[in-house]
A and B are shown apart, each in its own frame.
Chain A
Amino acid sequence: EDQVTQSPEALRLQEGESSSLNCSYTVSGLRGLFWYRQDPGKGPEFLFTLYSAGEEKEKERLKATLTKKESFLHITAPKPEDSATYLCAVQAGGGSNYKLTFGKGTLLTVNP
């Protein structure tokens, strides 16, 4: 069974204080690893897809990296508007099943 574990569960930063969120996974045949951002009461918003170890993607203050066992979401000089829950998900296996298995998320709070 695919498993995704995110840490820490919650992270509080001061504006401008860079940090990283971790997503470790155990799957059989990784097809892709996905990062989403979710604001309270809203649907997850797609951020990145990573397909193979060594891959990196960037968007504004966010950078996602992937190894064979884990992914990191680096947040550089965060702003209060970056406050949200960040979700990691994996897509694995074969055939026509493209389901995502999600971690429980990291709740990020950025104080001004």
Chain B
Amino acid sequence: DSGVTQTPKHLITATGQRVTLRCSPRSGDLSVYWYQQSLDQGLQFLIQYYNGEERAKGNILERFSAQQFPDLHSELNLSSLELGDSALYFCASSFTVGARREQFFGPGTRLTVL
């Protein structure tokens, strides 16, 4: 158990809908990262937050947005869903100070868009 929690574990929805994925980082970790894993693309970085502020963006679609709240939990919002958005979505957290750069991953949310 990495200490990172994600809800829900599974999500089945229809095209055009909007969903919210939730992540709670490990105790003491200030950084949260979101990644998407699909069969053909592998693990792809979406976005990073540090202590409530956006720090870096990767290949995140405009239909996707995220935020990190004062209690450090984070939410990833996916809207106008398409079939191709079906994937595993992982949240990771790290302390991100000095040499302690390891990221610890949650169990993921499996999104199925029908």
Contacts and interface: CB of A to CB of B under 8 A. Distances in A.
- A, B in one complex: yes
Contacts of B56: 96-99
B2 A43 contact: yes
Contacts of B99: 51
Interface residues of A, number: 25
A101 B90 CA distance: 14
Contacts of A45: 2, 105
Interface residues of B, number: 29
Nearest to B100: A49
B25 interface: no
Contact of A46 (B45, B102, B108): B102
Contacts of B104: 46
Interface string A38-76: 000111111001010000000000000000000000000
Contacts of A31: 101
A102 B103 CA distance: 12
B107 A43 contact: yes
Contacts of B96: 98
A23 interface: no
Residue with the highest number of chain A CB atoms closer than 10 Å, among B4, B90, B105, B107: B105
A87 B43 contact: yes
Contacts of A96: 50, 55-56
A49 B43 contact: no
Contacts of B88: 41
Interface in A14-56: 31-32, 34, 36, 41-46, 49, 51
Interface of B: 2, 4, 31, 33, 35, 42-45, 48, 50, 55-56, 58, 88, 90, 92, 94, 96, 99, 101-108, 110
26 contacts: A31-B101, A36-B105, A43-B105, A43-B107, A44-B90, A44-B105, A46-B2, A46-B103, A46-B104, A46-B105, A51-B99, A89-B43, A91-B101, A96-B50, A96-B55, A96-B56, A98-B56, A98-B94, A98-B103, A99-B58, A100-B43, A100-B45, A101-B45, A102-B43, A102-B44, A105-B42
